[in-house]
Structure 1
């Protein structure tokens, strides 16, 4: 006679090549599925009809180049670098301060100042967007379905898209001076803004609606703070669209991440705390990405996973290696289990 026992199996969702990548890459994400079953008779057996618990362990490490939302991490990394080097170096700008490496060939050919001038002119005389050639790959379509890019950027977001690759403190001041000149000339009414854009630059633009303004003196850390603010504002709008359009969260829930402590007087600390909140939102976005692309979970299940993560992460410190664990039904991952073998099996 045979003895039936309870078994535990773990399935690692990585191919052999993925394991090699995982071993050499610090920022590699990880997904595994734990399965518990009753009345197992044979070694390595995991009878589907006897499975009573299926748990997913997901470590979506931000910065994994294979992630569908890696492009958002790149903006966060720029903001982190601005905090780490830009603010400190700007405190003593007695010589040319350079902190960004340009890899975009187009950026080399066209100066940042010229690009800002182009942004200004585009708002002075708005034109219809030209039809773009549809050259999307399957991966592009998957990204769009998961995190559809916003179609319209307000003025400060357009400025961020240019200035995020600014090469030096001095070049940044020149660009901000060009914007201030436009405001002093009464052209601020052309710079439309999102209603909830409360960045320093947005506030100056709104003041210009009432008449002429006195441009601030851009010295010390102010230019870097202005740049960081509009970057945080841009990412905040991106995450708001993602979470609200998929009904993953209410705006009130998101405010706990995007404006955790606006009452703090120290602007630098306030911005740092906002960035931490955005990093948490990005981490949860990575979680949703893996649930969709790797686990292929139904949207209803992804919604529950994301909502649970949003509820708990507000009171936790940001942890890039955080492990998210949650139960799913066998039907949710049956296809994945059928084409995998357990890396761990025990009774």
Structure 2
């Protein structure tokens, strides 16, 4: 009777899982499904971030099971807990807001058992209409058992379209702690693995992640911006817990950088870009947010002085003072500090429209914008100036200048969005040349490769979007040069990776760009630092018979349902008086196999 009821319950779960899979075939369902009265089941996959990616490297869709958020009372099927367990769990896993509520370990094991029965081709009469291979299933656990289990998972082992068995995963978590006596002993871990899996030979693989930006002493800025530069290192043949990776290891640099850091050498260029974006928004919507004046003098006065100088120069009575006429015109928008000037040089070929942009980027109102362009157009109409412009310049103002060479200009109505678009066009052309000058000057790209980013065959809004991409790539190159002392042989492949991504994807400053490197390139930044993550993987067997035991420490919480704040209280802390130690979470992932054939 009990076995029959269990098969019926298992069949009900199986039918629901099958229905969820079918409904999520084209699009992942937005809302979870309720099983019985206490369990929510979600299908996670596609672009969704996997909540178990730190413990399981599978790439397929999966079921995530957790306690139903509406269920306030303990379900009758959940295990009873001791007071001691509750007290300890509240210390290890503080209460969090609803949204990722964990099941009791007993309930999770029951669900895994039902899933195993549903997937077992040798069990008949489970009530399912179709016997199919279901996606892996993971259940959140509350950690109230002695092992502090936070996840239990099951992954089908397949031979063609047939399930031959399951991998059962158990993830336990402890900490945070700075007490290294609670860390495992590698030889003991290897022996436990051999005994559990009846293995005579095991292999070990290490993984360590170090934050490089923190080591470069700009931690506060990065914490505020969400940027991060870290290195992932993997190696074979681990000899002891927390060992420093050998230099023969494989390493990958991970770069996620948000623009706009005030400490960046190209911050002034970023501010210039923000004004360009405001103009683009004004053209698109008709509403422009004018920035506060950033210059000591108004844009109108700067333009007046600029035009007066050009008139004097044309009349032959221009006084150069202490400056040589051939002196390069400095690009005031590329205000770079001394440590970076060697890679972001000063352009000396600014034409009239680019110099005008440098004066007008401080314009603070629509009326001031009109007044500035009125002065320029009158000077052109009266032949008071004969400015030089770059060949191929296609802005409306450049067209007017070319017409002025022949003494005849079309009438210009400085109304509506016309003056805003005129300023946007000259700013866009100028900034494109700034970025091109950098990438070509540093031999990081060719004009042909940059053509996508500077093309005028798309509308203005798309052109602005592509300039944003150029700026983001510039910020990455400048950061890697200034902070990590990268040279051309490192910057060139990184540039190609960034450009390839941005030719195929929209702007995404949270994207992590990855560059394979040698550990020696960045060793000086981490050799005296503690890792953010350190992990050893012990494995035996081959193919589908392979089983792994993973032990790791991490400064951030390994599970989101175990803490109220995923990273808030896992920072360095002072313990044992004056000794400063890093707090670590300890996580163990164990695997066992159930064979059906």
TM-score band w.r.t. shorter chain: 0.7 to 0.9
Q: What's the offset of the Cα at 1:302?
A: 0.7
> Structure 2: 5+ residue runs without aligned partners?
1-185, 191-202, 328-335, 537-597
Higher CA-based Rg: 2
Aligned ranges for residues 325-336 of structure 1 at < 5 Å?
325-336=514-525
Whether 1:76 and 2:273 are equivalent positions in the alignment is yes
The structure 2 residue matched to 1:322, chosen from 500, 505, 511, is 511
Aligned to 1:267: none
Whether 1:130 and 2:319 are equivalent positions in the alignment is no
Aligned ranges for residues 2-151 of structure 1 at < 5 Å?
2=187, 5-15=204-214, 18-23=218-223, 25=224, 27-49=225-247, 51-85=248-282, 88-89=285-286, 99-104=290-295, 106-107=296-297, 111-124=298-311, 125=313, 128=320, 130=323, 140-151=337-348
Q: What's the offset of the Cα at 1:212?
A: 2.4
Aligned ranges for residues 167-246 of structure 1 at < 5 Å?
167-189=364-386, 191-246=387-442
- Greater Cα offset, 329-338 or 162-171: 329-338
The root-mean-square deviation of aligned C-alpha atoms, in Å, is: 2.4
Please give the secondary structure, in 2, of the residue aligned with 1:67. coil
Q: What's the offset of the Cα at 1:188?
A: 4.5
Please give the secondary structure, in 2, of the residue aligned with 1:225. helix
Q: What's the offset of the Cα at 1:100?
A: 2.8
String of CA shifts for 1:322-345, please: whole Å, max 9, x gaps: 211111112211222323221110
Please give the secondary structure, in 1, of the residue aligned with 2:411. coil
Q: What's the offset of the Cα at 1:21?
A: 4.1
Please give the secondary structure, in 2, of the residue aligned with 1:146. coil
Instruction: Check the 8 A contact 1:87/1:224 in 2, yes or no.
Output: no
Q: What's the offset of the Cα at 1:116?
A: 0.8
Q: What's the offset of the Cα at 1:121?
A: 2.3
Specify whether residues 73 and 196 from structure 1 end up closer, same or farther in structure 2 by C-alpha distance, changes over 3 A only. Answer: same
Following the alignment from structure 1 to structure 2, what is the Cα–Cα distance between the partners of residues 243 and 31?
21
Following the alignment from structure 1 to structure 2, what is the Cα–Cα distance between the partners of residues 208 and 260?
24
Specify whether residues 293 and 335 from structure 1 end up closer, same or farther in structure 2 by C-alpha distance, changes over 3 A only. Answer: same
Following the alignment from structure 2 to structure 1, what is the Cα–Cα distance between the partners of residues 391 and 457?
20
Q: What's the offset of the Cα at 1:28?
A: 4.3
> Structure 1: 5+ residue runs without aligned partners?
91-96, 133-138, 263-269
Please give the secondary structure, in 1, of the residue aligned with 2:356. helix
Please give the secondary structure, in 1, of the residue aligned with 2:249. strand
Aligned to 1:337: 526
- Greater Cα offset, 63-72 or 32-41: 63-72
Specify whether residues 312 and 154 from structure 1 end up closer, same or farther in structure 2 by C-alpha distance, changes over 3 A only. Answer: same
Specify whether residues 21 and 291 from structure 1 end up closer, same or farther in structure 2 by C-alpha distance, changes over 3 A only. Answer: closer
State the aligned residue count. 320
Aligned to 2:115: none
Aligned to 2:353: 156
Aligned to 2:462: 273
Following the alignment from structure 1 to structure 2, what is the Cα–Cα distance between the partners of residues 14 and 259?
34
String of CA shifts for 1:62-92, please: whole Å, max 9, x gaps: 11222222222111111112233476446xx
Instruction: Check the 8 A contact 1:59/1:321 in 2, yes or no.
Output: yes
Specify whether residues 98 and 260 from structure 1 end up closer, same or farther in structure 2 by C-alpha distance, changes over 3 A only. Answer: closer
Following the alignment from structure 2 to structure 1, what is the Cα–Cα distance between the partners of residues 345 and 432?
15
Specify whether residues 248 and 98 from structure 1 end up closer, same or farther in structure 2 by C-alpha distance, changes over 3 A only. Answer: closer
Aligned ranges for residues 281-300 of structure 1 at < 5 Å?
281-300=470-489
The runs of at least 4 aligned residues of structure 1 exceeding 3 Å deviation read 1-4, 14-23, 85-90, 126-129
Q: What's the offset of the Cα at 1:192?
A: 0.7
Whether 1:253 and 2:449 are equivalent positions in the alignment is yes
String of CA shifts for 1:12-47, please: whole Å, max 9, x gaps: 124497444433x2x342110111111111111124
Please give the secondary structure, in 1, of the residue aligned with 2:376. helix
Aligned to 1:136: none
Following the alignment from structure 2 to structure 1, what is the Cα–Cα distance between the partners of residues 512 and 506?
13
Specify whether residues 291 and 14 from structure 1 end up closer, same or farther in structure 2 by C-alpha distance, changes over 3 A only. Answer: closer
Following the alignment from structure 1 to structure 2, what is the Cα–Cα distance between the partners of residues 69 and 288?
11
Following the alignment from structure 1 to structure 2, what is the Cα–Cα distance between the partners of residues 48 and 317?
38
Following the alignment from structure 1 to structure 2, what is the Cα–Cα distance between the partners of residues 307 and 22?
25
Higher strand share: 2
